[in-house]
Amino acid sequence: MPQSFTRQRMVEFADTDMAGIMHFASFFHYMESVEHEFFRSLGLSVYTQIEGKAISFPRVAAKCDFKSPAKCEDVLDANFKILRLGRTSLTYQIDFSCEGRPVATGEITCVCCHIFHDRPPESTPLPADFVKLIEPFVAAD
Ligand SMILES: CC(C)(COP(=O)(O)OP(=O)(O)OC[C@H]1O[C@@H](n2cnc3c(N)ncnc32)[C@H](O)[C@@H]1OP(=O)(O)O)[C@@H](O)C(=O)NCCC(=O)NCCSC(=O)c1cc(O)c2ccccc2c1O
């Protein structure tokens, strides 16, 4: 049974649009902050050193399906899991719900990269120590 990582957050006024519902871009901000909280919960940071090397995770794909509206002051449950672990990439899924009502499902794929100051990032295989840390959160097929 994969381990789950769940966070709750309230929809703030600044997250909403003129229709009074959570704006689509706000879901992407929520997804990113849940992901960062997940990594901090494992003792990692967005600026991380793994096996002595500076590693970062630029995104190559991001999407979100919107199922029902969320209003200001709704409290959303955000359930984070890892859908796929590739050679260099990993794909997260974040399910948002409000009191059991499905609100949105987002997916982000990012690629493990070495980061340089003077040239573009270069993808590199996910480090073994990192895979060991996150493997318990990989969803079963
Ligand atoms: C990232 C790149 C350097 C990768 O280039 P490369 O040529 O090495 O990539 P490949 O084509 O070989 O693919 C590697 C890997 O990814 C999978 N993949 C590629 N495209 C997709 C896709 N569309 N959907 C799903 N999967 C895809 C491919 O199958 C391979 O998987 P394997 O597991 O089999 O190896 C290069 O692509 C690049 O530089 N792209 C631009 C990146 C970018 O600018 N992104 C936007 C900004 S990043 C950002 O906002 C950001 C946010 C955060 O919250 C961060 C948090 C922590 C760290 C960094 C963050 C961050 O940068």
Give the per-residue pLDDT at 126: 94
Ligand 1 center to 61 CA (angstroms): 7
| pLDDT tens for each residue of 27-58 | 999 999 999 999 999 998 877 877 777 889 99
Question: DSSP secondary structure string, 67-106?
Answer: -S--BTTPEEEEEEEEEEE-SSEEEEEEEEEETTEEEEEE
| pLDDT tens for each residue of 80-91 | 999 999 999 999
Question: How many CA within 13 A on the CB side of residue 94?
Answer: 27
Work out which ligand 1 atom sits closest to the CA atom of 84.
Answer: 33
Q: Does the reported pTM lie above 0.90?
A: yes
| pLDDT tens for each residue of 101-128 | 999 999 999 999 998 889 899 999 999 9
Pocket test for ligand 1, best of 38, 60, 80, 90 (most atoms within 8 A of CB): 60
ipTM score: 0.97
**CA 104 remoteness from chain centre:** 13
Q: Read off the pLDDT band of 60 (50, 70, 90).
A: very high
Average pLDDT over residues 95-99: 98
Pocket lining for ligand 1, CB < 6 angstroms: 32, 46, 56-61, 86-89, 109, 111, 113, 120-121, 123
Give the per-residue pLDDT at 35: 96
Tokens of 39: 């990594």
Q: Read off the pLDDT band of 1 (50, 70, 90).
A: confident
Residue ranges and CATH numbers for the domains of the chain are: 5-137 (3.10.129.10)
Please give the span between the terminal C-alpha atoms of the chain, in angstroms, as a whole number: 11
Give the per-residue pLDDT at 52: 75
Ligand 1 center to 80 CA (angstroms): 19
Compute the mean pLDDT over every residue in the chain, rounded to the nearest whole number: 93
Question: DSSP secondary structure string, the chain?
Answer: ----EEEEEEPPGGGB-TTSBB-HHHHHHHHHHHHHHHHHHTT--SSEEETTEEEE--EEEEEEEE-S--BTTPEEEEEEEEEEE-SSEEEEEEEEEETTEEEEEEEEEEE-EE--SSS--EE-PPPHHHHHHHGGGBPP-
